[in-house]
Amino acid sequence: MRKKLFLKEFCKKILPKQIINLANKIKNKSISIGRRIEALKIIKSNLEELSVKLKKETPDQRIYRTELFNSIKNIDNQRAECTSLWDKYRQDIRRYILKKDLRNFLRWDPVIETMSAGARKPEFDYLLNYNWDKWSPAITETWVGNPPKYKYWKKSSGNFINTAYNLSRLIDYIPIDIKQAGKIVEFGGGYGCMAKLVNNLGFREKYTIFDIPEFLSLQKYYLHSSNTDGNFNFISQTEKLDDSNPDIFIATWSLSESPVELRDEFLKKIGQPKYVLIAYQAVFETIDNVKYFDEYMKNNQDHDWINYEIKHLPQNYYLIGKRNLN
């Protein structure tokens, strides 16, 4: 009896109130089975976060965290070229970085909302059935940021698998040996997942990410923490771009969420990439992206283009291009 009381008091001290409240909800038989299952999922996620928080921070983790903090504190006066929506997200990311446990950053709300996409089953099935020997080691997680495990393959996360599927649209369709590619430019690098994936596939040339300053800082933290040794270049202002005519240009749901003026300026700056991978939604705020990218193709007729709606994600599209060298 004494041991049971001690355990109950210990749980009260160490477990967040949300978990205790949810546990009580599960015991309430008047609540529907569906709501109790949902509560169990939330408890599981909370316990996974708590298990990371209870671990002692390693010396490397402390170094990378300090570097990120200093980087965030030094970007007050940097100009960011983004919409008001993305200005809100950069403030949210900044606040979370300075106040939350970085070891759980892939479970933060602003990261999930802006940089994370769970893989649909058809995406995983494609990787599994097409050159799995190539993809499986490349998408094996390092678990930096504590991402949730993908339910169909526990060695990876949904976002890593989704990123690999996006990249496969280009390198399997053309096809391209990523190890032999020259410089890559990515517009909007999320937390660094695409850069990590390309590195895992053997790419070692210059990889430039253009993004908002706070996001660039998080990308550096992720790539350092995951021991990703590459030739990375981080840029937040178009006038500092010096990567014209890259081998590969990547922009997955990023260019399509930017002001038209910034898109035009950026695309002019990078010139004529040899290969292009763009993913976009039909409409963003008041911008008709279908019309915008149709014009982009018409203005770049020295490329062979394929532009198609994603079957399992209606009103979203892949635009893939290859420069005609003839």
Supply the DSSP symbol for 144.
T
Low-confidence residues of the chain, pLDDT below 70? 1-31, 33-54, 76-83, 326
Tally of domains in the chain: 2
Per-position DSSP letters for 297-313, written without gaps between them? HHT-TTEEEEEEE-TTS
Domain end, chosen from 38, 53, 68, is at 53
Kindly tell me the burial class for residue 263, based on how many C-beta atoms sit within 10 Å of its own C-beta (0-12, 13-18, 19 or more): buried
Same structural domain, 154 and 273: yes
**Helix axis angle, 84-99 relative to 213-225, nearest 10°?**
40
Position 25 in a domain = yes
Summarised one tens digit per residue, pLDDT across range 296-306 is 999 999 999 99
Range of the domain at 9: 2-53
Q: What is the pTM of this model?
A: 0.85
The pLDDT value given to residue 131: 92
Same structural domain, 164 and 244: yes
The pLDDT value given to residue 85: 77
Same structural domain, 160 and 288: yes
Give the Cα-Cα-Cα angle 13, 15, 20 (nearest 5 degrees): 105
CA distance 199 to 208: 13
Query: By C-alpha distance, which of 265, 231, 246, 234 is closest to 185?
Result: 246
CA distance 199 to 65: 22
Same structural domain, 49 and 126: no
Give the Cα-Cα-Cα angle 116, 200, 50 (nearest 5 degrees): 45
Q: Token pair for residue 253?
A: 């749901």
Query: By C-alpha distance, which of 219, 224, 199 is closest to 209?
Result: 219
Position 82 in a domain = no
Cβ neighbour number for residue 308 with a 10 Å cutoff? 10
